[in-house]
Each structure stands twice: as structure tokens, then as C-alpha cells.
Amino acid sequence: MTQLQALIFDVDGTLADTERDGHRVAFNRAFAEAGLDWEWSVERYGELLRVTGGKERIRQYLSEDHPSALAEPGIDTRIRELHAAKTRHYVAMLKTGAIPLRPGVRRLLDAAQAAGLRLAIATTTTPENVTALLEATLGSAGPGRFEVIAAGDVVPAKKPAPDIFTYALEAMNLPASACLALEDSDNGVRSARAAGLEVVVTTNDYTRAQDFTGALAVLDGFGEPDQPARVLDGPLLEGPVVDVATLRAWCAGAGA
């Protein structure tokens, strides 16, 4: 690979564990507020996560559990309204500081910027969710640390399609060979790889058992000095944490 110049971060599951106690809860609040008896359990939500994008996920749920509702006139508007309510609940939760960054994320962001790497985001989630998470966890300057925030419906096809990563690369005017994607899911790995990117994966409870074929390395997190990262698949880690030197070495190895 060419010299590493930028890191492109996924959001949900990578920057923060947002799904089980964040997005899922917000969906359920929106359903209850609309007088619906739909309730997504932790387990059911894990199954629905295979579909990226909240509106797409609601549609998938209806096709499986309430097919007659999906056939009703005006269902597209209904889904959009439910999703807008879900976003409102989710952003409100984030603003209370309910969801922290994953261990090692702030350290890695600081180190990357100190080393002159450019930062970007490529996510399927709604843009205002990203801004709210970054402001709540990194302060008002948080979103500005990312040169590009590629999110949600800005591209027509969500992950595992490559579009959102391709969009971020074009916005940064960088080739895929100068960038590294950080992801937590199989859909994310497929998306990044299809855009020509190398990928490092940090797993979480929902994604641990997924197939990360094509990833440079799979870890249980980026690690902190007192909370070492564990490599689940891939090259050895020469210390307790994933740092810029590690990422540079892994990327250089990929091109060897």
C-alpha cells in the first residue's frame, strides 16, 4: 500500500457500542410512542442488524413479522415518520451522555491526528446521530476533527455496498491505497473491501461470530494500556494497544 494518510472510521459498534442500548431502545420508544406493540428484544435486534439502515431495518422487520402492515397504503411515509421519531429519541439519549466511546477510541483518534493522519467517517447511520455522538463524547469540537462525515442516505446503497466508503474517499481526494477502514461488522468489512480499502476490525457482542474474511486484523478492541487489546485473528500485536505504528505496520505488510 502507499503510505498511510487517513483513517476512515465506522460509527455504530466501532466508535461506540450504540446498537443494543442506543438504537434498539430508540426504535422501541418510537414504536411505543406511535401506539404500536412492536418491541425489539436484544436477540431479535441482533438478527435485524444484518440489514443496515434504520428505515431499511423497520421494513425488513415488517416483511418478516407484520407482512400485512407492509402492504398498507402510506407505509413508506409511516416508516419515515417512525424513523424520524427514532432519531429524535436516539439523539436525546446521546445528549444525556448515555453512550461512551469504546475503550481506546479517543486515544487512537488523538494519536492519529498527532501523527498527521487525516480522519473521516463512513457510516450507514443518520448524520445527526453522528454529530450528537461526537459532540457528547468529544465535545463541541468533536465533529470538526473528521474532515469528512459520510453518513446515511447521502448514497443510495448502504453497506455492504462500497458506496459510502467510495464517497468518503472522493471527498478526501485520496486513493483507497492511502487509507485504512476501521469497522466492527461483516457488512462493514465487505463494504470497505469492495471500495478497495484494507480493514481492521474491532468486534463487539453482536458481531463477534461474524465472518471477517479479507480483514487485515480482527481484535476485541483498540485497547488501553490497562485494558489490553486481544487479537482474535491476524498479526501479532506488539504491545497492549493498537496504535498508529501498529496500523502503519499492518498496512505496509498488506502491500508486501
The torsion defined by the Cα of 239, 240, 245 and 246, in degrees rounded to 10, comes to: 90
Peptide bond into 160 cis (omega under 30): yes
Q: Which of residues 9-38 bind Mg ion (CB under 5 A)?
A: 10, 12-13
Q: In the complex with Mg ion, which residue's Cβ is closer, 13 or 223?
A: 13
End-to-end CA distance of the chain: 8
Q: Which span (4-12, 91-99, 105-113, 218-226) binds ligand XBP, by CB under 6 A?
A: 4-12
Residue 179 φ/ψ, nearest 5 degrees: -130, 160
State the nearest-atom distance from the C-beta of 154 to ligand XBP, in Å: 12
Q: In the complex with Mg ion, which residue's Cβ is closer, 86 or 159?
A: 159
For residue 89, what is its C-alpha cell? 429519541
Half-sphere CA count of 219, side-chain side, radius 13 A: 29
CB 146 within 8 A of CB 123: no
Q: In the complex with ligand XBP, which residue's Cβ is closer, 54 or 142?
A: 54
- Does residue 190 bind ligand XBP (CB under 6 A)? no
Respond yes or no: is residue 65 known to be catalytic. no
Q: What gap in Å lies between CA 159 and CA 207, rounded to an integer?
A: 15
Q: Which span (6-14, 39-47, 91-99, 196-204) binds ligand XBP, by CB under 6 A?
A: 6-14
- Does residue 52 bind Mg ion (CB under 5 A)? no
Q: What gap in Å lies between CA 43 and CA 216, rounded to an integer?
A: 29
Respond yes or no: is residue 186 known to be catalytic. no
State the residues that interact with Mg ion by CB under 5 A.
Answer: 10, 12-13, 184-185
By CB under 6 A, name the binding residues for ligand XBP.
Answer: 10-13, 19, 23, 52-54, 87, 123-126, 129, 159, 185, 188
